[in-house]
Structures are given as C-alpha cells and as structure tokens.
Amino acid sequence: MCGRFTLASELEQLSEHFGDLQLELEFSPRYNITPTQDVAVIANTSEVGDVHKVEFYHWGLIPSWAKDPKIGSRMINARSETLTEKPSFRSAYKRRRCLILADGYYEWQTVPGEKSKQPIYIRLKSQNPFAFAGLWEEWKANYMEKALRSCTIITCSSNSYLEEFHHRMPVILPKDAYVQWLSPNEQSNEMLQPLLKPFPDDKMEAYPVSRFVNRPANDSPECIQRVSATDTDSQKIEQSLF
C-alpha cells in the first residue's frame, strides 16, 4: 500500500525526468504527504505535445456518483488486480489515468517486542523522482462552482526486496510507459495490466527513519534522515513527545 510519500526534488530534476513542465501552482518540497492533501499529478487531459501540465488533485478518489466526498479518505489506494471489478475505479481505469509525482514513500515495519512500528523510507537507488500509476475522477456538488478533481494510487504485490516491509507496494511506472498511461484514448485491461507490476527490486533501496514522520504535521528533511539501530532504540523517548 502507500499511505505517505515525498516529493522534494528540485524543479530541474523533475523537468529532466518528465520533460517540459507547465506548473499550475508553485510548490515547495514535501517530505510527509498524507491522504486528503493535494498532490502533484500529470493527468491524461492535455494534448500540448511534449509539455506536461502539472496540476494538484485531492489524494483520495471521489467517484463522480458519490453523495459524500468523505468517501475519498477510504480510496487513497486501488488494487491493480481488481480495477475492472470495482465500480469506484472501473471507468477511471479505462479513461482517466494520471502520473502522481513522487521521489519516495514510507512503510511501517513491525518490530518484535514493541507496540509501535518502525517507519521505513523507500526510494530509487538513483534518488531520482518517479511516478506512481494513478487514476483520477471529477466530482461536483450543486453548491460548487468548480468541480473537485481527486486521485488514487494503484498498488500491486511487493517485489522480493520490499516484501519484509509490506506485501503490497505502489505501482511505480517505468519512464517508457508514460506515453501509453497518459493516452487520452480509452484502453482495455489487456493493454494496461502488463504495466501494473512491481518495480525491479535491484533499483530500489529502503532504510529506517525516525518516528518523527509519524506525525502528519512534521514535514521537513528530518522525515527522511536515516537512523541507526541506536537511534531507533531512542525513539521510544522521542515518540512520547508527539
């Protein structure tokens, strides 16, 4: 699964990876992005050629038919294996796909003998930015002047390297899959499903970080700083401060 992630790369790094970017809004480095916040996406709505429009969508997909937008808080992730079966995702999977920009994400690992879990930061060995495979939707209530766009991150089975942390992982799309994923044309499950697979384990790395990240309000470089075993032990005291 994916319940927290980061996007702290410089604009130059993002442009180098994704191509020319047209920003809807300026954005600051984020080290602790949480569900229901706005996240940077490139949706399959643009036909500007090589220029990708970066917009900000609500994280937690709200189907167009939903009566209450709060449903989005329960749909931050979508299982790749059941996208064609779930009414919440079926239509978006065919027609409304997006890249969700990131450069790392967190998992929490059970620690024998401890009640609290150890946060783990996961990123590419290259430390380059990347994109989660995402779906987006548009929802509008009668009282709203402008529709709300929301998104969800697709997940798949973990690769062998990340299995010890969680049995699921977000789908990280390879760069050569971006064009197909962002096609505005309707696509079948047979065309898309081969893209929704675990990212190669030999290109990823993971390390423990401070429980400082557990608090959503904490959003600074300290969230991704590596900690040693000694530091991990001392977190019991640190945790009591939050």
State the CB neighbour count (10 A cutoff) for residue 143: 5
Q: Which of 98, 107, 156, 223 is catalytic?
A: 107
DSSP-derived 3-state class of residue 120:
strand
HSE-CB for 230 with a 13 A CA cutoff: 0
**114 has catalytic annotation:** no
- 241 burial (CB, 10 Å; 0-12 / 13-18 / 19+) is exposed
3-class DSSP state of 128 = coil
Residue 107 bears catalytic tag: yes
130 in Cβ contact with 93 (< 8 Å): no
Question: What is the amino acid identity at position 81?
Answer: E
Q: Which of 2, 98, 151, 223 is catalytic?
A: 2
The first and second tokens of residue 142, run together, are 């009668």
Handedness of CA 65, 169, 172, 119 (dihedral sign): positive
Determine contact, residues 149/190, Cβ cutoff 8 Å: no
Catalytic residue numbers, as ranges = 2, 107
